């Protein structure tokens, strides 16, 4: 289980010119480890996640997931890869107002012959893992901001991804709840052996992560040497 970005360059159209959002970015994230990518607004963090998630194809460079390059895959193959291997937590939870917490997870399940009962029990197990065992049948309006973010994270784990990509998970939370969410992400990463990337502009409460990389103007700077926590 791993995620590798090799020499990624991504530009966007910008009037007559092009704006370089990612400039020869390289990053290797082994399974079971959590890398935080920190940088100011506009530095390229969301672009990096979108490339890692195979939602945007960069001009140059390679995204490799579990040892397989995604270069040259068709749109359909990429969609299938995302569904099977990649959990994405966007900045906005985008929970459906009409569904309970458990149902938000259940609608993610692959239609591959799994019986509804199995899907339901997996949803409940994941809600339990994020500390929401008692909230499974609540709708989003009856959950706090922190609880909604936990549902968002649990939902991304529904298909047992090998890569977990999380965008600014603490931006709407106070300090204490932000720290708890980062701690939760670290614990889930170690327990479920996901290769996890968490991007944030917020340097605080990053004590639980295994490694912090910095991005400025699309250039990624990795720390040396990488530090790894000693497992769960």
> Which residues bind to ligand ADP, rule: CB under 6 A?
12, 19, 21, 39, 41-47
Least separation in angstroms between residue 182's CB and ligand ADP is 18
50 vs 123 by CB, closer to ligand ADP: 50
Residues in the chain, total: 232
CB of 171 to Mg ion, least distance (A): 9
Task: Provide the minimum distance between the beta carbon of 27 and ligand ADP in the complex, in angstroms, as a whole number.
Answer: 14
Structure tokens given for 107: 């609608």
Rounded least distance, CB 227 to ligand ADP, Å? 23
Q: Of Mg ion, ligand ADP, none, which one does residue 212 interact with (CB within 5 to 8 Å by kind)?
A: none
Q: Identify the bridge partners of residue 19 per DSSP, sorted by sequence position.
A: 12
Tokens linked to 30: 């082994």
Residue 32 or 218: the one with the smaller Cβ distance to Mg ion is 218
Stretch that binds Mg ion, among 2-10, 40-48, 117-125, 169-177 (CB under 5 A): 40-48
CA dist list (Å): 35 to 52, 57, 105, 124, 214: 13, 22, 25, 27, 10
41 contact, one of ligand ADP, Mg ion, none, CB 5-8 Å limit per kind: ligand ADP
Report how far residue 81's alpha carbon sits from residue 159's, in angstroms, rounded to the nearest whole number: 11
In whole angstroms, the minimum distance from the beta carbon of 46 to Mg ion comes to 3
Write out the binding residues for Mg ion, residues 41-70 only, by CB under 5 A.
45-46
**Which of these, 127, 123, 102, 104, lies nearest to 114 by C-alpha position?**
123
* Collapsed DSSP state (helix, strand, coil) of residue 104: helix
The item of Mg ion, ligand ADP, none sharing an interface with residue 43, based on CB under 5 to 8 Å by kind, is ligand ADP
Q: Let me know: does 67 contact 1? Beta carbons within 8 Å.
A: no
Q: Take residue 200 and report the two structure tokens written for it.
A: 């944030």
Of 19 and 79, which CB lies nearer to ligand ADP in the complex structure? 19
Instruction: Please state the closest distance from residue 49 (CB atom) to ligand ADP, in A.
Output: 8
| Residues within window 176-205 making contact with Mg ion, judged by CB under 5 A | none
What HEC string does 18-79 produce? Answer: EEEEEEEEEEEEECCEEEEEECCCCCCHHHHHHHHCCCCCCCEEEEEECCEECCCCCHHHHH
**Terminal CA-to-CA distance of the chain, rounded, Å?**
17
Minimal CA–CA distance to 70: which of 62, 80, 60? 62
- Which is closer to ligand ADP, CB of 32 or CB of 39? 39
Using the minimum distance from each CB to ligand ADP, give the nearer residue, 28 or 214: 214
Q: Is the Cβ of residue 92 or residue 204 nearer to Mg ion in the bound state?
A: 92
Q: Which residues lie near Mg ion (CB under 5 A)?
A: 45-46
């Amino acid at each position: 289980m791993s995620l590798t970005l090799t020499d990624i360059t991504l530009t966007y159209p910008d009037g007559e010119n092009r704006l370089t959002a990612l400039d020869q970015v390289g990053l290797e994230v082994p399974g079971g480890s959590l890398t935080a990518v920190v940088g100011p607004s506009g530095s390229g963090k969301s672009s990096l996640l979108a490339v890692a998630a195979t939602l945007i194809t960069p001009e140059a460079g390679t995204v490799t997931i579990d040892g397989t390059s995604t270069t040259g895959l068709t749109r359909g193959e990429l969609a299938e890869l995302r569904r099977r291997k990649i959990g994405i937590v966007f900045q906005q939870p985008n929970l459906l107002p009409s569904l309970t917490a458990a149902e938000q997870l259940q609608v993610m399940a692959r239609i591959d012959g799994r019986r509804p009962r199995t899907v339901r029990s997996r949803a409940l197990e994941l809600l339990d893992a994020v500390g929401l065992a008692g909230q499974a049948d609540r709708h989003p309006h009856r959950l706090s901001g922190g609880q909604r973010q936990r549902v968002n994270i649990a939902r991304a784990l529904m298909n047992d991804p090998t890569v977990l990509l999380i965008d600014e998970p603490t931006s709407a939370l106070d300090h204490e709840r932000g720290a708890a969410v980062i701690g939760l992400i670290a614990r889930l990463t170690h327990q479920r052996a996901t290769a996890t990337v968490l991007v944030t502009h917020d340097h605080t409460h990053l004590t639980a992560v295994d490694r912090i990389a910095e991005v400025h103007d699309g250039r990624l700077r990795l720390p040396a040497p990488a530090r790894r926590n000693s497992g769960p």
